[in-house]
Amino acid sequence: MKRPKIDEKLTLLADFGKTEAICAEVLDNPTTEEGVLLKVMARGPFQEGQQVWIIDRNGSKIGATVENVFKQTIDSEVTLSTVLPA
pLDDT in tens, 11-53: 999 999 999 999 999 999 888 888 999 999 999 999 999 999 9
**Contact assessment for residue 48 and residue 67, using Cβ atoms and an 8 Å cutoff:** yes
Higher pLDDT, 69 or 72: 69
In-domain check, residue 3: no
What percent of the chain lies above the pLDDT cut of 90?
A: 72
In-domain check, residue 4: no
**pLDDT confidence of residue 5:** 92
In-domain check, residue 32: yes
Q: What is the pTM of this model?
A: 0.88
Residue 31 CB contacts under 8 Å (≥ 6 apart), including other chains: none
In-domain check, residue 44: yes
User: Residue 41: how many CA atoms within 13 Å on its side-chain side?
Assistant: 10
- pLDDT over threshold 80, residue 86: no
In-domain check, residue 63: yes
